[in-house]
Structure 1
């Protein structure tokens, strides 16, 4: 469940590319950004977006005026979208370009893969000139084999107005490096450059009940004055740790076991015995415990307030139990466990949710129950692991629902970074207002 600000108010405007099922878009909205435009190519994902908060784009004259207005959605290839009508109107451009070219589970073609959408993100930055951008992608981008191209991505994001043309990316990178070495002659040229920050993250460290290693790229327009010192002040910090979870799991009287008092004694004993002890002086104990799959499913007063526990029985075969008290909480037959295909454990964060139906390698969508049985995770359970709210409604079929979840940004993780970007932008705006007021007084 996302952690909504009690005093939610509009903090700026945003545009979301490669919106998918809406994880990052929802994160920005919950952080207070008013969406001026969403774009998505996949038909089913567009149906899901429209089933929730999105609506058909009506043209350049229709700009949402309120945080509560529907999100305008352009359906179709991002290559066909002209963003210039939004120039000067957008605070944050966000998106997660398709990750298959750089994923450990993909073909590893990187920049040669036709699904590489980073060039389209660069185009949007040039046309919109946002104050900031947030870009999420797989940790595979940081692999040594992709290091030169990743540095090129960072370079082009910092100098988006040095266009590539018909040259190779290597030649373009050399031109960017040469241009960066030249001191910008005036304020107009400074406003065409961005300072870029790269942050590797594990979503579990930020309160997401899932092991999900990603890289978040954040950039700010250089004329705003947000430097490394400012971003270091506001960037999201780790809040949860594995050591803190192990410390609670190993203690039968801990808050974790008091919260999950219905766990059978034999299961609790087994979990305690297999959990390593933690050095009481371990600095990681200052954080909150990682949130677990059990937390996500049965409810955690800290992370999932006022949510009913999802039923754990009667979900083995959807044909026998087609109805469920929770939306999209329906069983699916055929789950198996075999060598190299181990299930999720309830008392650990879930494995990384992947964009597969149910046969993805590694057992990422299978869970081991307290009674020793196992089954596939339902769509709703998977959505909770991705920290989508329970009123998020994906559109059938099930395979598309799971694919959208696997491709999404966990809402809570995205929200943390969106709030940090908002806070950094606000800090320099307030500083500028203060300096302007002092100047006038003088």
Structure 2
């Protein structure tokens, strides 16, 4: 199934959709460091980015009308700064708001489905009206704003149109707020997914169920299984109260434990300023320090959400905190592990730029889980449509045979 990607960044969502079975043809991204990452991995022969047509620049400048018909998926993560808690929260008044541009690409390509990802801040009460507007704008991409029309006026018109019977291009949009840690990503990363299926696609889709839980992690730490597996000394173990039998047998007992920072990076050597011959991007970045509000990520829990940095070089929470309280910056390779990027995938640029790409990325594993589910339901919809077509043909043939008899 063919796909295109908007606001591709360093490639997290694109890698996940490729692993899910989509063939990404075009990726659009304005940041040159991120584009260089994609190109460098292409040149190195990484299989997940072969065949990509990397378009560096504004997605609004790409001639999407030249893309052949039949695109199954449009995916992308519009810039999150307009809605991020670390930004100014200007939403529609922020020139970086690219949701209208996303809807325009969907209008042009008419994909069978789309996957749009953004920060949890989008669901804040202050943005409630605009969040509704975004969903309706994606649901009705052909109902574009009129000249001089504000987004609030456009929202009112979309609401009226949404409740009427129309024949325009429409999508059934399912918004879901998820924590990446609940899907096996070693990071507590809350994100909003807006997944849409074209109205003529009988998808019967719902967001994938969580596979991991905090309770399960507590259970294996309380039993000692976690510490013994990692050979952690008793004095370095986080104190966890033993779970009662009732708590140990809670309904989520079948879920796997949240993955921790230690789970993700335990096989990596301790980083040095000279780097590692075996692992790409595994170089110590000196200068980390802990201060109020920026204490790093404890090694025996999922990492806090990696950040891209609104002002200057990202740092702050992009640190590892050891049991003794000492901190150091994550190497780029460690951060890539926390974002579930493959070890063979190189992040281009100096530490700050590479970390910015990772801080803006969708975890590859989470992208794959969501895209695999979309791919599966598109395939099932095809099977249902083909079966219905066969039944129609068989009924017509039977009717002709009966008439001729």
TM-score when normalising by structure 1: 0.84
Match of 1:131 among 108, 112, 123: 112
Aligned residue number for residue 243 of structure 2: 277
Residues of 2 paired with 1:118 and 1:275: CA distance? Answer: 46
State how far apart, in whole Å, the 1-side matches of 2:265 and 2:251 are: 29
Aligned-partner SS, 1:134:
strand
Q: Does structure 1 conserve the Cα–Cα contact (< 8 Å) formed by 2:19 and 2:48?
A: no
- The 3 A distance-change label for structure 1 pair 158 and 87 is farther
Among residues 179, 197, 216, which one is paired with 1:244 in the alignment? 216
Distance 1:267 1:277 in 2: 20
Say which of 205, 224, 233 aligns to 1:264. Answer: 233
- Alpha-carbon offset, residue 20 of structure 1: 0.4
* Map of 1:403 onto structure 2: 356
- Aligned partner of 1:41 among 30, 36, 43: 30
Q: 1:394 to 1:163 in 2, by over 3 A?
A: same
Q: 1:243, 1:289 within 8 Å by CA — same for their partners in 2?
A: yes
Assess if the C-alpha contact under 8 Å between 1:264 and 1:370 holds in 2: no
Distance of 1:364 and 1:423 partners within structure 2 = 36
User: Is 1:173 the counterpart of 2:162 in the alignment?
Assistant: no
Whole-Å Cα distance in 1 between the matches of residues 313 and 34 of structure 2? Answer: 21
**Aligned partners of 1:366, 1:358: CA distance in 2, in Å?**
16
SS at structure 1 position matched to 2:300: coil
Determine helix, strand or coil for the equivalent of 1:224: coil
Q: Is it true that 1:297 corresponds to 2:265 in the alignment?
A: yes
Q: Which runs of 5+ in 2 are unaligned?
A: 396-405
What's the counterpart of residue 214 of structure 1? 191
1:142 is aligned to 2:123: yes
In 1, Cα distance between equivalents of 2:24 and 2:63: 16
Aligned with residue 104 of structure 1, among 85, 91, 102: 85
**Cα root mean square deviation, aligned:** 2.1
Normalised by the length of structure 2, the TM-score is: 0.91
**Match of residue 437 from structure 1:** 390
1:371 Cα offset (Å): 5.9
Structure 2 distance, partners of 1:236, 1:196, is 15
TM-superposed CA distance for 1:428, in Å, is 1.0
Kindly state the Cα deviation for residue 74 of structure 1 after the two structures are TM-superposed. 1.0
Alpha-carbon contact 1:138-1:213 (below 8 Å) kept? yes
Matched, 1:160 2:141: yes
Deviation at 1:25, TM superposition (A): 0.5
Per-residue deviation, residues 180-227 of structure 1 (Å, max 9, x unmatched)? 22213xxxx25x11110001000000000000001000001101233x
User: CA, structure 1 residues 374+182, in 2 after alignment: closer, same or farther (shift >3 Å)?
Assistant: closer
Structure 1 runs not aligned, ≥5 long: 1-11, 56-65, 299-308
C-alpha distance 73-439 of structure 1, shift in aligned 2 (>3 A): same
Number of aligned residues: 389
The CA deviation at 1:274 is 4.1
Q: Give the corresponding residue for 2:399.
A: none
Distance 1:387 1:111 in 2: 32
Asked if 2 retains the 8 angstrom alpha-carbon contact of 1:197 and 1:217, the reply is yes
Whole-Å Cα distance in 1 between the matches of residues 353 and 103 of structure 2? 28
**Aligned mate of 1:286, from 234, 254, 261:** 254
Q: d(CA) in 1 for partners of 2:159 and 2:325?
A: 58
2:338 matches 1:385 = yes
Contact 1:122 1:157 in 2 (8 A): yes
Partner of 1:381, secondary structure, is helix
SS in 2 for 1:425: helix
Answer yes or no: is 1:53 the counterpart of 2:30: no
Residue 307 of structure 2 corresponds to residue 354 of structure 1: yes
Q: State the SS of the aligned residue for 1:285.
A: helix
Residues 281 and 114 of structure 1, relative CA distance in 2, 3 Å threshold: same
Aligned pair 1:328/2:281, yes or no? yes
- Give 1:251 deviation, angstroms: 1.0
Residue by residue over 1:9-34, the C-alpha shift from the partner in whole angstroms, topping out at 9 and shown as x without a partner, is xxx11000000000000001111111
